[in-house]
Amino acid sequence: MTTFDRITSLHTLPTLPANFARLISVLNDEQASLRDLEEIIRHDQSLAARIVSVANSPGFGYTGYINSLEQAMLLLGVDLIRSLSIGISIFQSFPLPPTVLKQMWAHAYSVGTMSSLLSRKIANADRGVAFLGGLLHDIGRIILLTLFPDGYSFRQDPEAIVPTEIERFQCSHAEAGHHFLKNLYVPDEVSESVLYHHSIDMSNQHRDIIACVYFAEGLMQILNTAFGGDGLWTDNHLNLFTVYGLGSKEIDELAAIVASQEAELMSFFKI
C-alpha cells in the first residue's frame, strides 16, 4: 500500500465531527449565511468553545472581548468563522501529543493570520480562503506523523524536510496534505494552496490565494522564528513579491503587526 493509499483511508477518520460534511457544504456555498453556519456549530459544543477561544486570540484584534459564539460570528463574519470551523475540526481529528499539537496549531494559526493580512494586498484573494489555506498548509506533516509515528520527525533543517519526506515516504507533506483535503472535498483553491506552499505554480488559476500562503509561511520564518515552522524566505519569494507590486514597505508593515502581537501570541499558546 502506498502512502497515498494510506492517506485516502484517513478521510473516514472516526474523530471527524458528525457535522463535518455540512461544514464543507457551507464552505462551498457562497450564499451561506451566519445563521446557516451557527445552526451547524451549535450542535458541537467543543467546536463552538474552540471558535470563541481562537476568536479572542491576538490576530483578530478582539482579545478578551468575545465571550459567546454569537459575538464571534458577528465580529469575525461568515468567511472567517467557516474557515475556522473547518480548520479546527480537521486539527482536532488527529490524536497528537499535546506539545506537538500546540506547536503545530501556533504555527498554522500564525501563517493563516499572515495569509489573511496579505489577502488585503493581493487582488482576487478572498480573506477567509487565504486564512484557511494558511491554517491548513502544514496539515500534511500531521498526516505523515500519524501514519509513520516512528519515522517522522518535526525537528529538521527546513531545507531538508521535503527531500527527506520524499525519500522516506515517496511524497512530501505538501502532497500528503493536498491529497487528504481533496478526499474531504475541501475547495480546490484551499487544497492547492497547501500543495504549492513551498513551490508556487503561477500558472494555477488559484495563484493569488496560493501566493498569500506561499508568502505567509516565508515571512513568518524571517519575522517571527518562534512561529516560523519549516518556511523559508528565498530569492524566489522576493522576486514574486515584487511581481505583485509589493516590497520592503509592505514587509515593514507586516513586521510591525507581528511584533505588536508576538508577546500576546506567546502567552495565548503558552510557548
Which tens digits make up the pLDDT trace of 186-216?
999 999 999 999 988 778 889 999 999 999 9
pLDDT for 26 equals: 81
- Distance between terminal CA atoms of the chain? 38
pLDDT band at 223 (very low <50, low <70, confident <90, very high): confident
What are the backbone angles phi and psi of residue 103, rounded to the nearest 5°? -65, -45
Q: How far is CA 11 from the centre of its chain?
A: 18
Cβ count near 251 (within 10 Å): 17
Is the pLDDT at 87 greater than 60? The verdict is yes
> Are 186 and 112 in the same domain?
yes
- Can you point out the beta strands (E) in 120-188? none
In a domain, 8, yes or no: no
pLDDT for 80 equals: 87
For residue 96, is it left (φ>0), alpha (ψ between -120 and 50) or beta?
beta
Rounded Cα gap, residues 119 and 125, in angstroms: 5
Is the pLDDT at 271 greater than 60? The verdict is no
pLDDT band at 185 (very low <50, low <70, confident <90, very high): confident
Mean pLDDT, rounded, for 177-192: 93
Domain final residue, candidates 60, 92, 124: 92
Check if the beta carbon of residue 219 is closer than 8 Å to that of residue 254. Answer: yes
* 230 against 88, higher pLDDT: 88
Check if the beta carbon of residue 132 is closer than 8 Å to that of residue 26. Answer: no
Check if the beta carbon of residue 141 is closer than 8 Å to that of residue 173. Answer: yes
Domain final residue, candidates 67, 92, 117: 92
When computed from its CA atoms, the radius of gyration of the chain, rounded to whole angstroms, is: 17
Domain final residue, candidates 70, 92, 114: 92
> Are 153 and 237 in the same domain?
yes
* 16 against 131, higher pLDDT: 131
C-alpha cell of residue 185:
472535498
> Are 56 and 107 in the same domain?
no
Which CATH number covers residue 254? 1.10.3210.10
pLDDT band at 266 (very low <50, low <70, confident <90, very high): low
Is the pLDDT at 256 greater than 60? The verdict is yes
> Are 87 and 25 in the same domain?
yes
Q: What percent of the chain has pLDDT over 70?
A: 91
Which domain does 124 fall in, by range? 97-268
Domain count, the chain: 2
Output the CA angle 32-60-22, nearest 5 degrees: 25
* 94 against 246, higher pLDDT: 246
**Alpha helix ranges (H) inside 170-223:** 173-183, 188-195, 207-223
In a domain, 3, yes or no: no
Q: Give the tens place of pLDDT for each residue, 6-49.
A: 888 776 565 677 778 888 888 788 788 888 888 888 888 888 88
What is the 3-state composition of the chain as percent helix, strand, coil, each rounded to the nearest 5? 70, 0, 30
Instruction: Select the highest-mean-pLDDT range: 62-66, 102-106, 170-174, 260-264.
Output: 170-174
> Is residue 38 classed exposed, middle or buried when 0-12, 13-18 and 19+ CB atoms within 10 A define those classes?
middle
Mean pLDDT, rounded, for 77-97: 86
> Are 39 and 168 in the same domain?
no
> Are 77 and 58 in the same domain?
yes
When mean pLDDT is compared across 12-16, 125-129, 232-236, the lowest value belongs to 12-16
Check if the beta carbon of residue 217 is closer than 8 Å to that of residue 137. Answer: yes
C-alpha cell of residue 86:
473547518
Check if the beta carbon of residue 56 is closer than 8 Å to that of residue 73. Answer: no
In a domain, 10, yes or no: no
pTM, full prediction: 0.89
In a domain, 6, yes or no: no
> Are 160 and 88 in the same domain?
no
Look up residue 178 and give its amino acid. Answer: H
Q: How far is CA 243 from the centre of its chain?
A: 24
pLDDT for 21 equals: 83
